[in-house]
Structure 1
């Protein structure tokens, strides 16, 4: 398992892990005032985002090749390499929340399919610690309690108990329900913000390198609001807070020094933590890294869900 410093420093190499919504060019930006430009971009983003649901259908990986058939040959070659390990992709809406929505669906889908009660017990303990962390940081409980309650409700719904769990189709339907999907996204945003604030000394150098702002300003402006983009700091924080390993696979136009085409990935492995007292064990280098069961595809500007070959 990586040390804390290695984890974020390595992840910073993935400088393209910044979520955003791509917008077409406008012919004459010089004639637009700043507020006109912002309004124009917002309108374009809203139209583009509405073209797909919050969580799409599962598609064969070949659908990516069709999307890039007239594009960069390096991308097409990388998609061929991807098919050796991955079978399918599930797209998410490009509205600035795509990382959190992808994480949400991939995690709940894993619990639905695995029925891993030990994992549910573990993450429930982590969620309780995160709740206490927010309270200790001065958050009023009414500001986040509904988001926490809804996530735990969704978690219970995918685990069989006295009643059968929901079906996969119902999970997809719930993930497309804005009142559910947005609430769970906000739950993850509060979790991420609390983790960053709680370990502010650790995150501060990386945040200042990215935005030249304080930890508090970063959380208020770049973590907690809906629609704000996510980068490696967000991913590291949510992985550590919930104890969930995440693999990010990069589909871009890069190649190695010899011109060879390879598909790079980075595993965000959570630091060891005892959820009963939330102590982080910094001497966990002898532990085996947690194998990620959440696999996300990053293309410049967006995250989707990847499904490994069986």
Structure 2
């Protein structure tokens, strides 16, 4: 294949493009006068051929019209826009009204649906409550049935056990059945035809008779046992009544003995007066009269109800009363001979001296028993810490006895605190002097006595069925209020028994009243070991101390 080459152009000048200068056309709005420079190859073509003044005048008019037209066009445009906006607003209002109506419809539908839903919820709640109650009832029924099943199961087990026991018993007694059946085989064929003449019938009737007799004897034995128990209770009641009557009789006897001794003393005084009238000098008679008058005056000023009526007292009794009134509430221990008159002691005094070594005198102000009782018992347990604590616990718990009898706590609380304080001080040092000092403080000692009186009254009222038969007042409550709770009232035998039972303390009362030759001993309650010994003489109580046994 051959290639041909392009022709080579050597003359480059002939290929140059030659462009001629052409004139440019320019539209001008200025006049030639106002142009400052001339440009070549430029053809100025005037747009406005009129003069400047004419052009300016015509331009102003044209500008105003143009502006008016422009404003008119703008106004038309605004009117169109306003119409469009009005149309759009109207459409929006219509759409809004339609949406509002739709919204109201939907709201009404929502309310209806809400009401239906609430009704549905309420019905469901009722159904739920009903279902819960039904479930609870079913649960209770299930529990009851389960318990019944357990009970029946237990009964079934018991019946099965009972059945097994009966089976075992039947098995055990089977030999007797076999024996009887074999016995029947050996009996004659005419045995059952004899009827009442059978040999077994008398034995059966005898057994029935013996069984009936045995039951009657057992019933009779039960009745006899009940009668014996009733008799024992009556015997115990009669024993207590006898004890009370015995105490009352001893009291009456002591009062009669006191009257007898008073009459004897008056007789002696009359004899002395007779002797004085017969042979004594006038001066001695006047001196004795002055002394007797002084003693009587002192006795009137220092009168203590526990010594009895003033007109029945002899001179020695009056002097002893004056001495006691001038002294302390509880004296120190004195020799037993201090109780004896100056004349030769009688058989009772000798007997008392042989059994007791010393005496502690208590003021005869009507509270002598309660004061002597409490002091003597506390003195007996003063060096026994356990016994003293038991007595303190008993006193503390006795407040419940007063409350059960109807006493207001404010009426006895202060006295109870006083008794407990006395016990606590005695527990602190265990000294007889402390106990003696406390019982000789009038306020403390009287507060202790008042509490014991209230406790006695409460015990009497709590056991009114027994004690009401031994008081002479219209009723037991009146007796307690007038004779027991009131300070300075003499203590009766019923009160002694009640206080002894209330505090579980045994008392030994040695009475100088009654038979002139023998002392009367009373253990309250009977058969117990006394922890304190009191001497009863002319309606007054003192504390006795027995001689040690060798």
> Does TM, scored on the shorter chain, surpass 0.5?
yes
2:130 is matched with none
Question: What does residue range 44-63 of structure 1 map to in structure 2 within 5 Å?
Answer: 50-63=325-338
Match of 1:20 in 2: 306
Rounded to whole Å, the distance in 2 between the matches of 1:213 and 1:79 is 40
**Structure 2 partner of 1:142:** 410
Q: Is the 8 A contact 2:396 2:416 kept in 1?
A: no
Aligned partners of 2:322, 2:353: CA distance in 1, in Å? 31
How many equivalent residue pairs?
A: 255
Question: Comparing both structures, which one devotes a greater share of its residues to strand?
Answer: 1
Q: Which has the higher contact order (CA 8 A, sep 6+)?
A: 1
Preserved contact between residue 328 and residue 363 of structure 2 (Cα < 8 Å): yes
Structure 1 residue 116: Cα displacement: 4.5
- Tell me the equivalent position of 1:130: 398
2:525 is aligned to 269
Closer, same or farther: CA 167–309 of 1 in aligned 2, 3 Å: same
Report 1:290-309 matches (<5 A): 290-309=528-547
Alpha-carbon contact 1:97-1:185 (below 8 Å) kept: yes
Q: Displacement of 1:138 after TM fit?
A: 1.8
Equivalent pair of 1:11/1:232 in contact (CA under 8 Å): yes
> Residue 92 of structure 1 contacts residue 304 of structure 1 at CA under 8 Å; is this kept in 2?
yes
- 1:130 and 1:195 in contact (8 A); partners too: no
What is the CA–CA distance in structure 1 between the aligned matches of 2:246 and 2:400, rounded to whole Å?
30
In structure 2, runs of 5+ residues without a counterpart are 1-235, 256-304, 313-318
- CA distance in 1: counterparts of 2:536 and 2:370, whole angstroms: 13
TM alignment of 1:4-153, pairs within 5 A: 4-16=240-252, 20-25=306-311, 50-65=325-340, 68-70=341-343, 76-113=346-383, 115-117=384-386, 119-153=387-421
Say if 1:126 and 1:241, in contact at 8 Å, map to a contact too: no
> Aligned residue for 1:244?
505
CA displacement at 1:6 relative to structure 2: 4.1
Question: Which consecutive segments of 4 or more residues in structure 1 shift more than 4 A?
Answer: 16-19, 46-49
Contact 2:506–2:532 under 8 Å retained in 1: yes
For residues 239 and 214 of structure 1, do their structure 2 counterparts lie closer, same or farther at Cα, with a shift above 3 Å needed? same
Structure 1 stretches of 5 or more lacking a match? 27-43, 256-260, 271-288
What CA deviation, in whole Å up to 9, does each residue of 1:259-307 have, x standing for no partner?
xx1111101118xxxxxxxxxxxxxxxxxx3210210000012100000
Residue 297 of structure 1: SS of its match in structure 2?
A: strand
Contact 2:382 2:388 survives alignment (8 Å): no
Q: Which has the larger radius of gyration?
A: 2
TM-score normalised by the chain length of structure 2: 0.43
CA distance in 1, matches of 2:339, 2:509: 17
User: Paired residue for 1:274?
Assistant: none
**What SS does the aligned partner of 2:416 have?**
helix
Residues 51-71 of structure 1 deviation map (CA, whole Å, 9 limit, x = unaligned)? 231101211111112xx234x
- TM-score in terms of structure 1 length: 0.75
When the two chains are superposed, the root-mean-square deviation of aligned CA atoms in Å is: 2.6
Q: Which residue of 2 aligns with 1:192?
A: 456
State whether structure 2 residue 465 is matched by structure 1 residue 179. no
